[in-house]
Amino acid sequence: MNSPKVVLVSGGTRGLGLATVEQLLMSGYHVATFSRTPSEAVTELNTRFGARLWASTGDLSDPAGLENIVHTVEHEFGPIWGLVNNAGIAVQGVLPTMAPQQIEDLVSINLTGTLLLTRLVLRRMILRSQGSIVNISSIIGIRGYAGLAAYSATKSALDGMSRALARELGSRNIRVNSVAPGYLETDMTQTLDSSQLTQLIRRTPLGRLGQVEDVVPVILFLLSPAAGFITGQTIVIDGGLTC
């Protein structure tokens, strides 16, 4: 019998990342995840799924820490077959008044850290000529939204990264895609006031905010052999907001 495939999910302790980790475990994968802070929800998943889940603290802005995470995951579980680049931060603010440190943090975590983690995993995937990567971008990177220029820049970059890597790695049997969620009912939308939420819902053809359950099945599909001829794509899941 083949061993379960191993998927590494960055930022898997809450929201979309946590839901992705849980569904991967329920689908039979071995899952590794890390985030900057521990999570009771992940502890509960450890109780349910035991040795099939490996979780640790880690920060995308720490290159040495990322290398240690990837090495440890492969030592504990075996070859990493799938990578979900989910971790990221969101900072609002019009660009002329944003503090330089805020911009640096967004780029360091959302883009540079994701590139470095992907580089580490790809160096191993290439040796085995197999793998699937899903980058979690955003509709913010597809359409312009006031006050989110820096965040949008980092998310647009992930879509570009998916397309370029798909070209580079197709001959190695490695697929790379993006999933671009719309506004979901997660921590990231809790900062919006009621009038902003009402306006978003009114502009969305399906008439509601998204749920993590709307997005997770697409992530699992793109990781799976069922998506074996899909690479370099950005799949938008936004209830029609950008149509």
Catalytic residues: 151
d(CA 141, CA 118): 20
Q: What are phi and psi of 129, to 5 degrees?
A: 55, 45
Residue 194 contacts by C-beta under 8 Å, 6 or more apart in sequence? none
For residue 93, the SS3 value is coil
Structure tokens, 235: 């799949």
d(CA 102, CA 148): 12
Strands (E) across the chain are located at 6-10, 30-35, 53-57, 80-85, 131-136, 174-181, 234-237
What's the burial of 107, exposed, middle or buried (CB within 10 Å: 0-12/13-18/19+)? Answer: middle
Helices (H), 56-148: 63-77, 100-106, 114-128
Residue 47 contacts by C-beta under 8 Å, 6 or more apart in sequence? none
Q: Which residues pair with 180 in a beta bridge?
A: 236
Distance of CA 68 to the CA centre of its chain: 20
d(CA 222, CA 156): 19
